[in-house]
Structure 1
Amino acid sequence: MEKLLDVKNMHVSFDTYGGEVQAVRGVNFSVNKGETLAIVGESGSGKSVTTKALMKLIPMPPGRIKEGEILFEGRDLAKLSEKEMQKIRGKDISMIFQDPMTSLNPTMKVGNQIAEGLIKHQKMSKSQAKARVKELLELVGIPDAENRMKQYPHQFSGGMRQRVVVAIALACNPKLLIADEPTTALDVTIQAQILELMKDIQKKTDAGIIFITHDLGVVANVADRVAVMYAGRIVEIGTVDDIFYNPKHPYTWGLLGSMPSLDAEDAELYAIPGSPPDLLNPPKGDAFAPRNEFAMQIDREQEPPLFKVSDSHYAATWLLHEHAPDIDPPEAIKKRMAAMASTGSGKGDRV
């Protein structure tokens, strides 16, 4: 597969009165054309900062890309000026934000908001843009598009507003689509429709997608690969089957164990003790060590590298060292893994 995006050793920091907050600390990942990479983790793990940094949407200052490369089709976005980035945002890379009401201008008609990108990036005339807006609204499943494009955001339901945001993101046929928890505020039915829409459009355009979510059920249905983030780092990355059926990092075990399942025999959920670290002063060694019941002395002294599990699967845990003790996931997690395997919740059963 052709590589679309390649992020190498990216560090993102925010300078505050209290000091430097190291929000993203040496992240590496790639996205191929036509591929969906899901980034998962608790709130504050660095998911949204990572993807906003790709588009240089973090406020600078106080935010800054401290180190690393963001290679998009071989071009390092980290070195581009704001004027150069404006030519890429919306055209080559688009983003669907979590809350459509903060993404849409309440004083502008929906049609005009979608047309903006078409006129700026595609150099369309107003009449051409109007015809394309109608096509886009129909594409995302909004009926009576001719009249709806003349209405304001408050005249749309939550699900319809999110469809409008998707239409804006797709207007210029981007090569990379970043979706930052795009279905969190929607009910299950509308959520499924939006996810189905994104996958359908991806098949038609061969776009790469980065999907940020905390919902592992969504991940199982949409992703090809999964990156698990904790304390500003990717602690495990692999295919959907790697992460769901053969997780290696204790943090990934905790995330899977906390996921409700109707098929698990034991209804009790696994709870990860403690809370994420303060990235103003990141802990020495493995940041997850204070919450890890399987932590060893080395976890408190040295940060683990990404150990290779297979050609597609890597995890940053000292448990994978050749001299580490052989430790299995907790029983609650094993039950959920067995339940997922029995119902085919992995890659083979995606929408």
Structure 2
Amino acid sequence: MERLLQVNDLEVTFQTYAGEVKAVRGVNFHLNKGETLAIVGESGSGKSVTSQTIMRLIPMPPGKITNGQIIFNGQDLVQKTDKEMEHIRGKDIGMIFQDPMTSLNPTMKVGQQIMEVLIKHQNMSKASAKDRAIELLKLVGIPMAEKRVNQYPHEFSGGMRQRVMIAIALASNPKLLIADEPTTALDVTIQAQILELMKELQKKMGTSIIFITHDLGVVANVADRVAVMYAGQIVEMGTVDEIFYNPKHPYTWGLLASMPSLDHDTKEELAAIPGSPPDLTNPPKGDAFAPRNPYAMKIDFEQEPPMFRVSDTHYAKTWLLHPDAPKVEPPESVKRRMRQLATSYAKPVLAKDGE
């Protein structure tokens, strides 16, 4: 498959009163055309900083790209000026943010906010841009689009506002769409509708998607591949099936086990990952997950593990995959939970629009 995006050894730091925070530490991944990659991890794992760095949206200073390349469509975005990035953002790369109420301008009609993108990046006339804005609102499932194009954000429900954000992001037919936790503020029913909408739009438009989330259950029915992030690094990457059915990193085990089961008959307690993520002003020596890892070995506290190859598409950053390491399987309770979750989230029940 043809690659649209290649991130190589990306490192991002922030200067704070407490010192330099190493927010992203040597991140590598790629995205193929027409593919959806989910980046998953706890708050503070570096997933949103990574996505915003691709868009060159991190404030500089205090943020700084200290190393790496972001090769998009054959160009290194790290080397682009702010002026050059203005022509790429919105036109070639679109972004959907977590909270549409803070992302949309409350003083502008939603139609005007879509039209702005079309006029700037597509050189449309106002009349043509308004017609296209109505088409986009219909495309993302907003009824009575001819009327609602003239309404303000506060006149829309949370789910409908997120649909407007998707319409704005898709206005210029971007090659890449970055969705930064786009369903976090929505209830489960509306969340399912938005996820299904994004899948349908991707099929129609062929857009590549990076989906940022802390919820592995969300990605099961959306992503082609998953990158699991912890402490500013990718610790496991594989296809959705590999991550759900054959996870190799203890952190991935913990994320899967800590998700609630949809089986009403289960009496299992919800698992939790003990401890807290490390302080990235002073990243720990060795494996950053070692203090929270019940399977940690002496080497985990002394030497950072490399990415071990499990298959052509599956890699994990854990010493447990070393040939000399003891053979450790996830506990049976974790295996059982993984099977339940994989089954439960594979086919979510979608309600019809009726917000």
TM over 0.5: yes
Amino acid in the other structure paired with 1:70: I
Deviations 1:268-295 (A, max 9, x none): 1221110000001100010000001111
Matches within 5 A, 1:38-77: 38-77=38-77
Deviations 1:167-202 (A, max 9, x none): 000000010000011011111221111111111111
Amino acid in the other structure paired with 2:269: E
RMSD of the TM alignment (CA)? 1.5
Determine the structure 2 residue equivalent to 1:268: 269
Shift of 1:23: 0.2
Matches within 5 A, 1:326-341: 326-340=327-341
Matches within 5 A, 1:92-131: 92-131=92-131
Amino acid in the other structure paired with 1:319: L
Shift of 1:345: 4.2
SS at match of 1:310: coil
> d(CA) in 1 for partners of 2:273 and 2:183?
25
Per the normalisation by structure 1, the TM-score is: 0.97
SS at match of 1:87: helix
Amino acid in the other structure paired with 1:301: E
2:211 maps to 1:211: yes
How many positions carry a matched residue from both structures? 349
Matches within 5 A, 1:181-330: 181-263=181-263, 265-330=266-331
> d(CA) in 1 for partners of 2:291 and 2:340?
29
Deviations 1:67-107 (A, max 9, x none): 00000011000000000000000010000000001110111
Shift of 1:267: 1.9
> d(CA) in 1 for partners of 2:10 and 2:58?
14
Shift of 1:20: 0.8
Amino acid in the other structure paired with 2:128: Q
SS at match of 1:7: strand
Of 204-213 and 255-264, deviating more is: 255-264
Determine the structure 2 residue equivalent to 1:28: 28
Contact 1:221 1:350 in 2 (8 A): no
Shift of 1:337: 2.1
> d(CA) in 1 for partners of 2:164 and 2:45?
29
**Unpaired segments of 5 or more residues in structure 1?**
none
SS at match of 1:312: coil
Amino acid in the other structure paired with 1:214: H
Determine the structure 1 residue equivalent to 2:353: none
> d(CA) in 1 for partners of 2:349 and 2:37?
14
Shift of 1:17: 2.2
Contact 2:305 2:317 in 1 (8 A): yes
> d(CA) in 2 for partners of 1:48 and 1:338?
29
Contact 1:179 1:210 in 2 (8 A): yes
Contact 2:192 2:348 in 1 (8 A): no
> d(CA) in 2 for partners of 1:176 and 1:24?
21
> d(CA) in 2 for partners of 1:161 and 1:133?
14
SS at match of 2:4: strand
SS at match of 1:221: coil
Matches within 5 A, 1:146-165: 146-165=146-165
Matches within 5 A, 1:72-87: 72-87=72-87
Per the normalisation by structure 2, the TM-score is: 0.96
> d(CA) in 2 for partners of 1:275 and 1:228?
17
Of 102-111 and 263-272, deviating more is: 263-272
Amino acid in the other structure paired with 1:293: P
Shift of 1:151: 1.1
Shift of 1:349: 8.4
Shift of 1:332: 2.0
SS at match of 2:310: strand
Q: CA 1:144 to 1:122, structure 2 compared with 1: closer, same or farther past 3 Å?
A: same
> d(CA) in 1 for partners of 2:235 and 2:317?
5
Shift of 1:148: 0.9
Shift of 1:339: 2.2
Identity %: 74
> d(CA) in 2 for partners of 1:323 and 1:138?
58
Amino acid in the other structure paired with 1:107: T
> d(CA) in 2 for partners of 1:44 and 1:117?
31
> d(CA) in 1 for partners of 2:239 and 2:309?
13
Amino acid in the other structure paired with 2:301: R
Matches within 5 A, 1:5-24: 5-24=5-24
Contact 2:117 2:171 in 1 (8 A): yes
Amino acid in the other structure paired with 2:97: F
2:122 maps to 1:137: no
Determine the structure 2 residue equivalent to 1:90: 90
Contact 2:217 2:341 in 1 (8 A): no
Amino acid in the other structure paired with 2:119: I
> d(CA) in 1 for partners of 2:95 and 2:114?
13
